[in-house]
Amino acid sequence: MTRPTILVLGTGGTIAGAGSGGTGVAYRPGGVALESLVAHLGALGLAADLVPEEIARIGSQDIGWAEWQALHGACTRALADPRIAGVIIAHGTDTAEETALLLDLTLPATKPVVLVGAMRPADAVGADGMRNFANAVKVAGDRHAAGRGVMLVMGDAVLAARDARKAATSSIDAFRSFPRGPLARVTPASLDWFGPPHRPGAAARYPFPAELPRVAILTAGAGMDARPVEALLGIGARGIVLAGMGQGNAPAVVLEALARCAASGVPVVRATRVDEGLVDRNVEVADDALGLVAARALGPAKARVLLMVLIANGITDPQAVQAAFDAG
């Protein structure tokens, strides 16, 4: 059997974190160079050849437009290179769901692209990074992995970008898959897919943006007034995601202000500040009358990514934006 060649893109994060002193609390995300992580992995006897390329060495809270452009470019080149079987992106977990969804929306699904992270620094007791990485190698080198969009491998599970959500700040079992469960279970020894690929041979759903518009997340709170909405318009927000109460609710004055935004061509998507659950149309909020969009299963962080991609591609009409959110 030929060994797959896998491109490993490093961005930093806890998987490359160092300085914890084994049991300490503080550490530096990205403190370990990608070359030395990959050399370490080579010693694990994995059935793949790894080609490292360092994009950044930062905590993922600092990842943004420059890194996203670099990642998209590197993935595009790898998908076109017949020598490369798949791509692994080592990434901090804080914003892994955002990077994963952006790439999922803008890359073809012809080869596996897998984000992997860790909750404990590389030099900590009980570090999870090497196991997660070994699992990611198993996924990225698997011939049944294509056609499933961008994936996230954490804690022996393979999650689809559209469903992955960080739900815990420090436990090893930090990610949830909502509303669909994981795509597969993976260990260094086995990989079991739970269904067929859902995007076989699919082209990219949206062109990668030339630039990203400013889209803000506004978290609702009891007793708030409409001034935060006016402030967002004042700083040039081109779109607003409401992290609303319950099914995307907010005080009436806030909804009225958001409806004025929508009427002026600034699309407004209602998501929820609740950990999990759908936000559907016209439940307590009259979306049809107010011109608002329901985020459905996407939480605020991922709703913002999708809305940025839509606006960048000239899609701002509430019905068209709703159709994109309905498509998940």
Q: What residues line the site for ligand GLU (CB under 6 A)?
A: 13-14, 29, 59-61, 92-94, 117, 119
Give min distance, CB of 120 to ligand GLU, in A.
Answer: 8
Give min distance, CB of 327 to ligand GLU, in A.
Answer: 28
181, two tokens: 């469960």
Distances (CA, A) of 238 to 120, 217, 275: 37, 11, 26
Distances (CA, A) of 133 to 44, 104, 148, 186: 11, 20, 19, 11
Give min distance, CB of 62 to ligand GLU, in A.
Answer: 8
Residue closer to ligand GLU, measured from CB, 164 or 311 = 164
Residue 319 CB contacts under 8 Å (≥ 6 apart), including other chains: none
- In this structure, the chain runs to a length of 328
Give min distance, CB of 309 to ligand GLU, in A.
Answer: 22
Distances (CA, A) of 118 to 23, 63, 143, 240: 16, 16, 25, 31
Give min distance, CB of 129 to ligand GLU, in A.
Answer: 9
Residue 267 CB contacts under 8 Å (≥ 6 apart), including other chains: 239, 240, 293, 307, 310, 311, 316, 318, 321
Which residue sits closest to ligand GLU, CB atoms considered? Answer: 92
Catalytic, out of 2, 5, 11, 14: 14
Check if 76 is active-site.
Answer: no
Distances (CA, A) of 208 to 38, 254, 277, 286: 29, 33, 29, 33
Residue closer to ligand GLU, measured from CB, 20 or 106 = 20
Residue with tokens 């954490």: 154
Q: Which residues does the annotation mark as catalytic?
A: 14
